[in-house]
A and B are shown apart, each in its own frame.
Chain A
């Protein structure tokens, strides 16, 4: 491996070189963290101690399970709603409605929390609703972009094969872009973790890591905050990996190279 190669744009490296670069970055980040001059940044030892305390004295495991369950439930509902909306958006009469839903991503939850509280029956429903709303508005926009990016040739192909409008929707849009659904899901599911603290903060009694995070943050327990963030990061990466595995299982064509 030549040094000039790793600093040049658009170079394809072998696996060993890639692993070396990743390892070097991890070492650099770890060293920066360990020897950081910022007094407010907890040291690795403090974070691991906080993680130990959270796990054994504050039921971090149970709170994680609560958050994961909430997240999966919200993502599942949001996926169904978003896909239904995105596919409906191909029908002229619904297109403005779908476009409007996408525009709602600019709204802040600060003013909407009260409305959601009034509309839901309990804390869990409130959390799910907030998360679903936050995910749907982004999911819909991404899916509409995916659908708008379908080349005209694909629709022409369906038409020349005597497919009707609904059949074309199924073949070209729903089946044809199934692999892209997983990519969008990957992004929005990650965003769902970002919104989790907000959603759980709106109904603290339900527990969850978001509640723990809010509490630790409020009391300025930065080591705990960082420990929880690291756990969320690891969980998010696992979630990302699992969605990738599902994508490969459901869409074996997705990662094939273009032509021989």
Chain B
């Protein structure tokens, strides 16, 4: 495992709470993502954000994306002294929504033109299409794409728009093992396009998240003495996979320490 440093804060969740109609969903959630530096490597950040279904992952997801406002607290990116706004963080939703009335090229151009002049946008889009094996689909409409192609277009759209922080909602959901592996490779590839690139993968697939992430956040709730759930989820555990020697390895599943780690998180998951 190469030596690394973590200094600059890229994303900070500061005491975020969220209530819906008097029901507390999130309770003072705190978490930080720092820029990981590895000498001689371009290394982005990948955080796996796990938790049982219905616990509030999507609520925090939307707050981190700037799409919803917390009841209290804030999410800050790139050290700005204000809460994140919609558009500053890329979002790849579960069903990979795209503009159905635009071709792949049209969808990507719509995003790229937000950041670059038209000519440069086209050059970048063409380059990304080639790099991500989508050149043949450039003039296809989203309805003509396979699930994997759609996923890549949705991710590239956000990357081209200039979002260095990318939230992905359940990217492994419903995928077979081969497609899952491809998605993991894709996430790593996108993350490592730039040092500052940060991908937060929201999932309940512990093994898939652990295989791709450098840190894992586990969201859970407290229980009272009778074992009853106390409302208000927060990040109860953060796992540093780099320190455990379980990050940045494309064949991590072969590492003897990987399965016990997944087992450890799985047991924790059962108590969340």
Contact = CB atoms under 8 A, between A and B. Distances in A.
A160 B89 contact: yes
Contact of B145 (A157, A160, A259): A259
A162 B87 CA distance: 4
A158 to B, nearest CB: 8
B111 interface: yes
A178 B157 CA distance: 22
Interface in B91-111: 91, 93, 95, 97-101, 110-111
Given A153-B95, A160-B86, A253 B101 contact: yes
Interface in B192-219: none
Contact of B97 (A151, A175, A257): A151
A258 B143 contact: yes
Max count, chain B CB within 10 A of own CB: residue among A161, A252, A253: A161
A258 B99 CA distance: 13
Contact of B150 (A156, A162, A171, A259): A259
| Interface size grouping (class) on chain A | 20 to 34
Sort chain B's interface into a size bin: 20 to 34
By secondary structure, the A interface counts as loop
A171 B145 contact: no
Contacts of B90: 160
B250 interface: no
Nearest to B68: A156
Contacts of B142: 253
Given A161-B114, A253-B143, A156 B157 contact: no
Contacts of A153: 93, 95, 97
B144 interface: yes
A162 B146 contact: no
B25 interface: no
Interface of B: 65-67, 86-87, 89-91, 93, 95, 97-101, 110-111, 114, 141-147, 150, 157-158, 161, 163
Given A259-B146, A259-B150, 10 more contacts: A154-B99, A157-B97, A160-B87, A161-B110, A162-B161, A171-B99, A172-B99, A178-B101, A251-B101, A260-B144
24 contacts: A153-B93, A153-B95, A154-B97, A156-B91, A156-B97, A157-B91, A157-B97, A157-B98, A160-B65, A160-B89, A160-B90, A160-B163, A161-B87, A161-B110, A161-B111, A161-B158, A162-B114, A175-B99, A253-B101, A256-B143, A257-B144, A259-B144, A259-B147, A260-B145
Interface of A: 151, 153-154, 156-157, 159-163, 171-172, 175-176, 178-179, 251-253, 256-260
